[in-house]
Amino acid sequence: MQKTYFIETYGCQMNVADSELVESILKREGYCATQNMHAADAIFINTCAIREHAEEKVHSRLGTFHKVKKERPEVIVGVLGCMAQNLKDELLENKPYIDIILGPDSYRSLSDVFSRKTKYNGNVVDTKLSRFEVYDDLFPSRKEGVNAWISIMRGCDKFCTFCIVPFTRGRERSRSVESIRQEASEAVANGFVEVTLLGQNVNSYRHEKRKFHHLLEEVASVSGLKRIRYISPHPQDVTDELLSVMAAYPVICNSIHLPLQAGSNRILKRMNRTYSKEHFIALADKIRAYLPGVGISTDIIVGFPGEQEADFRETLNVMDSVKFDSAFTFKYSPRPYTKAEQYSDQIPEVVKQERLQLVIDVQRKNTLLQNRKMIGKVEMILVEKDSKRAADQWAGRTDSNKWVIFDKCDAKIKDLVPVRIMDAKGISLHGELLETEEVLL
């Protein structure tokens, strides 16, 4: 009988893409996927270390894996990804039931791991970080869908003082334009209509002499693609060339994630973010000038060490000035190895919680304000999935990355259809599907 694996993924989209790579290796090793961990021969968890909360979720999940291992000691338990990299000693010491620990640059060794495992019958640990590994020749095993995640670069050299990523994922390195283009073409051949280019610092992509905007142009020329997205850029590397390319190619979505993190220059400096509040605001204005109707989303951290009330107010002020379309908001979480963890002026949890609530409230107001501007407009929507609320409605996105709910009528998943926006509630828009002739009139 064929051996089976079960894999669960936590954290960012990069991990989703990495799990797809792991799945392709497992399939080559003769394994097939199962959704039932109690019947699987090997169970894997791909982990995230970005905040403490993310790690806690993984620890609790590992408790369940432990029970499976007690029932069936022959099952192989593997921990992959950023926590594997970061916590290998603790995992080895406190969770001896874990058989395999592989960091983000070690998935290729999964094949020998199985043979080593049977040979020595001990734990297998490989968490070496590589300066070169980009898995260029390994194409991921994707489930059918609308969007294909394509990893274009790995690692990060920015060393923001709060962030563990440069330690868990190592130095920046990029894949070749040709292999990325080929992967995009294959994704189209396999029925995907959208690709999202992924990297920890996606716009510092550089391969030989080619930069991110060159790559975008190449991917934009892949025929059959309806949409191209990318995450996550750094404001420092948003160049005029990039904005020109985005403006020139309709297939590249009119949407950009622009992580602010904080609005006070003093805190930005302590975070090592390399831009000032003034520069950030001017950049957002420039993006809107190049790309009318663009959706701008952001990340915000509250309660970074030393953040005074006045600093925090500046974050709220920048939010109100830029008016982001959406925001991911986080309480600062001290991470091992990082500079900020050592700062002595950590902020109490209650203050962090209060500030988090305030940024959430400001963003909710701004999201609604931005979404209300869309009412009456006709937007092209890529049909992506069933709406959660009603079986006869679709959910799809505008190219500015806003979710729209509308009656299915005769539209199908993967169609790009015209929808008139009728209402804005909460974070999503509600619309009516138009006949193509209505749009032409």
Binding footprint of ligand SF4 on the chain (CB under 6 A)? 156, 158-160, 163, 165-166, 200-201, 234
134 near ligand 5AD, judged by CB under 6 A? no
Q: What are phi and psi of 418, to 5 degrees?
A: -80, 130
Distance CA 204, CA 393 (A): 39
Q: How many helices (H) and strands (E) does the chain have?
A: 14, 21
Per the CB < 8 A criterion, the answer to whether 227 and 194 are in contact is yes
196 near ligand 5AD, judged by CB under 6 A? no
Q: Could you say which DSSP state residue 276 is in? A: -
User: 330 contacts which partner out of ligand 5AD, ligand SF4, none, CB within 5 to 8 A by kind?
Assistant: ligand 5AD
10 near ligand 5AD, judged by CB under 6 A? no
Name the residue among 352, 360, 357 with its Cα closest to residue 309.
352
- Binder among 162, 275, 312, 324 for ligand 5AD (CB under 6 A): 162
- Binder among 50, 91, 193, 374 for ligand 5AD (CB under 6 A): 50
The angle subtended at Cα 83 by Cα 80 and Cα 88, nearest 5°, is 85
367 contact partners, CB below 8 Å, separation of at least 6: 324, 325, 326, 327, 427
Q: Could you say which DSSP state residue 333 is in? A: -
Which residue type occupies 362?
Answer: V
**CB-based closest residue to ligand 5AD:** 299
Residues 299-358 touching ligand 5AD, rule: CB under 6 A, are 299, 301, 330, 332-333, 335
Q: How far is the CB of 22 from ligand 5AD (least distance, A)?
A: 22
Looking at the Cβ atoms of 65 and 304, the one nearer to ligand 5AD is: 304
The residue written with tokens 């009656």 in the block is 407
- Binder among 6, 19, 51, 134 for ligand 5AD (CB under 6 A): 51
Q: Is 322 exposed, middle or buried (0-12, 13-18, 19+ CB in 10 A)?
A: buried
Looking at the Cβ atoms of 9 and 34, the one nearer to ligand 5AD is: 9
Q: How far is the CB of 172 from ligand SF4 (least distance, A)?
A: 9
168 near ligand 5AD, judged by CB under 6 A? no
List of residues contacting ligand 5AD (CB under 6 A) = 50-51, 162-163, 259, 261, 299, 301, 330, 332-333, 335
